[in-house]
Amino acid sequence: MKELEKKQSSRRDFLTKTVPACAVSCLAAGTAFAASPLCAKSFFDQEEHKFDKELPGPNLTSRRLSAMRNRSFIRFARFLQKEIGEEKVIELIKKETEQRMFDQAKSDLKRLGKSDFSSYISIFRDPRMLASLTMEIIEDTDSVFEIKVTDCLSAESFLPYKAGDIGYAAVCWGDYNWASDFNPKIKMVRDKTLMQGHDCCNHKYMWIG
């Protein structure tokens, strides 16, 4: 819950810098949004998937928690798009994402104690990462790590609301910065993401040192 509160606080901080403080109260409208027809019933119908593993709490799963965490953010982003324009909002979200992933990279560096390629790739082997992704390792060498992601908890919490553009700006966009901020010698290339409606995410990380 502390991690959830931290992420929600980060989003509130970003939003208060771009709109009047009174507008942030719209974030409290998440409960009403939960009843929106945009919330496809089939989103919660999957059985025996790791995203549906029960968590502590009444009728709570990783899938439901992720959806609840992002509903208010999506609602408010759409409100902003109507007020100041779709492109401007996406641009601002991307900017915030870049800063957030810079902070994440520095946190990872401090935790791991090294900035080499293998240390960065070790993050993808962490059970916490694997709990939110289903991926296949395509290539794994000292200088190349390529994966094919076929399930992503983040994508599944944005796409049912037809908010892939918002999700891409808030989540996927930061992947490039996360790699290069960890070490400028790490380059990520990718031309497909689940968030954009493709069949997978094809991340390829290369050590160019």
Q: Amino acid identity of 4?
A: L
Cα gap 175→129, rounded to integer Å:
14
Tokens of 17: 């810098």
In a 13 Å sphere around the CA of 170, the CA atoms on its Cβ side amount to 23
Phi-psi category of residue 9: left, alpha or beta, with phi > 0 → left and psi -120 to 50 → alpha: alpha
Percentage above 70 pLDDT, the chain: 70
Higher-confidence residue of 119 and 153: namely: 119
Q: Which residue has the higher pLDDT, 35 or 137?
A: 137
* 195 in Cβ contact with 171 (< 8 Å): yes
Could you give the 3-state DSSP secondary structure of residue 187? strand
Per-residue pLDDT of 163-192, as tens digits, reads 999 999 999 999 999 999 999 999 999 999
The backbone torsions φ and ψ at residue 187, rounded to the nearest 5 degrees and listed phi first, read -120, 135
pLDDT at 68: 75
168 DSSP 8-state letter: I
Among 95-104, 122-131, 139-148, whose mean pLDDT is lowest?
A: 122-131
**Sequence ranges of the domains in the chain:** 2-207
Position 69 scores a pLDDT of 80
Whether the predicted pLDDT of 142 surpasses 80: yes
Residue 2 has pLDDT above 80, yes or no: no
**The two three-digit tokens of residue 78, written as one number:** 């759409």
Q: Looking at residue 59, what is its pLDDT?
A: 74
Least reliable range by pLDDT among 50-54, 89-93, 127-131: 50-54
| Residue 26 pLDDT grade (very low, low, confident, very high; cuts 50, 70, 90) | very low
Look at residue 15 in the predicted model and tell me its pLDDT. Answer: 39
- Averaged pLDDT, 127-133: 84
User: Which has more confidence, 42 or 114?
Assistant: 114
Give strand ranges (E) for 86-161: 133-140, 144-152
148 φ, ψ (degrees, to nearest 5)? -120, 115
CATH topology of domain 2-207: Muramoyl-pentapeptide Carboxypeptidase; domain 2 (3.30.1380)
Instruction: Name the phi and psi angles at 104, rounded to 5.
Output: -65, -40
Cα 25 to Cα 50, 61, 72, 93: the distances in Å are 34, 27, 10, 19
What is the amino acid identity at position 68?
M
